Chains A and B, each alone.
Chain A
Amino acid sequence: MSKLKIKDLTLIFGKEKEKALSLLKQGKTKAEILSETGCTVAVKNASFDIEEGEFFVIMGLSGSGKSSLLRCLNRLIEPTSGSVVLNERNITSLADLELQAVRRKEMAMVFQNFGLLPHRTVLENVAFGLELQDIPKEEREEKAKAVIDLVSLGGYENQHTGELSGGMQQRVGLARALANDPEILLMDEAFSALDPLIRTQMQDELIDLQEKMHRTIVFITHDLDEAIRLGDRIAIMKDGEIIQIGTPEDILTNPATDYVSSFVEKVDRKSIVTAASLMFDKPTVAIFKKDGVEGSLRKMRASGLTSLPAVSVDKAFLGFVYLKDLLELKAQKEHTIEKAIIRDIPVAYAETTVEQMLPFIAENGRAVPVVDEKTNKLIGIVAQTSLLIETTGASWENVTGNTIDNLQKEIV
């Protein structure tokens, strides 16, 4: 059961919302609606479900409507149409008092510019959400202190927030949201105002925290690297529309539109792309005992390779055989390839990342075998070429045989 369901959420700014909405239903574009009614379509028919405990990232550039969409979830901005359903309850149709209760207990928000109260101390800021619920001072400060420790702010309780650095202030912002013990955490560009080093550190800490607390998080960012680091799933927005939703790897390997690919190109893929998505899953193999020396040589000749992975009859990975070794065996009139198999070769698993596989080709310039973690069966082969392309960021189209051959020769 999904925790949060967003269905056909549309947000229009302007005076003639109704007219703009009906034009939108007729399939008119944003530009047409703007010229006809003077209304801006900020979010257009956004629909997605977020699972319990999921870290859901909405990524888009400024003006893409991502922050407006987030504000529709707790109705800081009233959506024009569509529904937001939290725990089977439609947030969009709640009365003021019920909405207030939802904001107090079920959703808490972290802001880009922190939104802290400068005239209060860290402790008072963190306890602020509880104070609004009229929870007695002692009880709320006790809870606040526990959360302050959780975000490593211990010792800063009595400082005024204005005296803290940006990173520290955002910890206060995060602690304030967590103190309410919300089911859903809404984070609006929470780390965007921080400098890069602090941002990475905060991302790491958020990941650690999330491993402990398993909240449902909706995180807004304009930075795809951040989205990929943090998100279980990512929704990419452009001009008020969600153009792709998927896991980080989905987005990187199968960008839905040119717009998405233009982002993906700039991303550091090494730590995201896995062996499973790079490998050739039906490699030519030498099957030990079934293929003899002659059979293996024939396979090599047919595929134009100088080495083959060797597997047992049940496909378990054994090692590699090389052309020169097989030729030697042939000269010695050997029939089985046993002596030519080079064993103890490092293997990758399906989820091994490019970054982790790089040392393999640095060590020995051969392809990387990918095996099943449990059964040791060979499931594919990652060619050096693929690894090099991933690492250097070159695209397949640009890589003409010549340059790659040169690279390969240098390595082998």
Chain B
Amino acid sequence: MIHIGTYIEQFINWLVLNFGAFFDLIKVEVESVVNSVEWVLMLPPFYVVIALIALLAWKRTGWGVTLFTIFGLTLIWAMGYWDQTMTTLALILSAAFIALLMGIPLGILAAKKPMAGRMIRPVLDLMQTMPAFVYLIPAVLFFGLGKVPGAFATVIFAMPPAVRLTTLGISQVPKDIVEATRSFGATSRQLLFKVELPLALPTILAGVNQTIMMALSMVVISAMIAAGGLGEVVLKGITQLKIGLGFEGGIAVVILAVILDRITQSFGTKKVGRA
């Protein structure tokens, strides 16, 4: 029998032992990001937050989504899950932000350098297909319990679509436009920022949407390592067999998902903006 697990265990332990300070630094940084986002979301009264999100929905989409946003978020508040929802939202947004911060440059690299692309692709496959629970173990070893390991697991799970769709978007930029740009003496930086990224933007934004949705699907799993938020509500419902509690938490997650999905999707498709 081969015990691959033993080697992985040894490797993780080695990482923890030798890079403890590094992980601590990351922990502090990520924690400050998550906490500041949460602080901002919790600062104003709930109706101001609802009004702002509804305003964004109205600007970007139509009346339907706007009304859904108002009713949905009010329902969450009325059920008494406002704080948990904001914690979850803060965690998702921070994790998605970190995932994009790493994923988009990686996607550009994979599109530009075929060799890098060939190396990145199997890693992405691994990240996406590995059962998400597995990430929890090293996450806890590196960062202890709480929001940071939750964010870590979420980032790993949510990053692949950002990388993949960025790569796709860049490689789909018509060759003749790239050639024309080069023929006018563009540097590779000019080519990237003036031509490739703007043309790939709709596809990249689809990746942003996917990343946020993937992050949302990690809510309950990351609650297992005390990340808190709505996941905790659902988890309590499961462990204590309280059907009502489970469904309430579940409905809140669904409402959040629909709002986030519709709003982020609107950035990728043609603008329906109103003045």
Contact = CB atoms under 8 A, between A and B. Distances in A.
A107 B182 CA distance: 12
Given A111-B180, A115-B180, A117-B177, A100 B199 contact: no
A133 interface: yes
B198 interface: yes
A50 B113 CA distance: 38
Interface string B174-217: 10110111111111001000110011000000000000000000
Contacts of B187: 100, 132
A143 B86 CA distance: 53
A119 B199 contact: yes
Given A117-B195, A118-B199, A101 B185 contact: yes
Most B C-beta atoms less than 10 A away, residue of A115, A116, A118: A115
Most A C-beta atoms less than 10 A away, residue of B174, B184, B190: B184
A115 B186 contact: no
Interface string A113-133: 111111100000000110111
The DSSP consensus for interface residues of chain B is: helix
Interface string B42-55: 00000000000000
A41 interface: no
Given A117-B195, A119-B198, A132-B190, A108 B184 contact: yes
B176 A103 contact: no
Nearest to A105: B185
A76 interface: yes
Interface residues of A, number: 30
Contact of B184 (A99, A104, A118, A119): A104
Contacts of A173: 180
Contacts of B186: 132
Given A117-B177, A132-B190, A76 B183 contact: yes
Contacts of A133: 185
Given A111-B176, A115-B177, A104 B185 contact: yes
The DSSP consensus for interface residues of chain A is: mixed
B183 A108 contact: yes
A115 B179 contact: yes
B184 A129 contact: yes
A318 interface: no
A109 B180 contact: yes
B235 to A, nearest CB: 45
A119 B174 CA distance: 13
A113 B177 CA distance: 9
Given A119-B199, A131-B194, A132-B190, A103 B177 contact: no
A100 B185 contact: yes
Contacts of A129: 184-185
A91 B195 CA distance: 26
A180 B180 CA distance: 13
Nearest to B190: A132
A105 B184 CA distance: 8
B176 A115 contact: yes
B88 to A, nearest CB: 35
A74 interface: yes
Contacts of B179: 76, 111, 115
A229 to B, nearest CB: 25
Given A117-B195, A119-B199, A131-B194, A74 B176 contact: no
Interface string B141-185: 000000000000000000000000000000000101101111111
B203 to A, nearest CB: 13
A56 B195 CA distance: 31
Contacts of B182: 76, 103
Contacts of B194: 128, 131-132
B183 A109 contact: yes
A323 B185 CA distance: 72
B162 to A, nearest CB: 21
A142 to B, nearest CB: 19
A116 B184 contact: no
A260 to B, nearest CB: 30
Interface in B62-111: none
Contacts of A74: 183
B185 A116 contact: no
B199 A103 contact: no
Interface of B: 174, 176-177, 179-187, 190, 194-195, 198-199
6 contacts: A111-B176, A113-B176, A117-B198, A119-B199, A132-B190, A173-B180
Question: 8 closest Cβ contacts across the A-B interface?
Answer: A115-B180, A103-B185, A104-B185, A109-B183, A129-B184, A115-B176, A100-B185, A113-B176
Given A109-B183, A131-B194, A132-B186, 13 more contacts: A100-B187, A101-B185, A103-B185, A104-B184, A104-B185, A108-B183, A111-B179, A115-B174, A117-B177, A128-B184, A128-B194, A132-B181, A173-B180
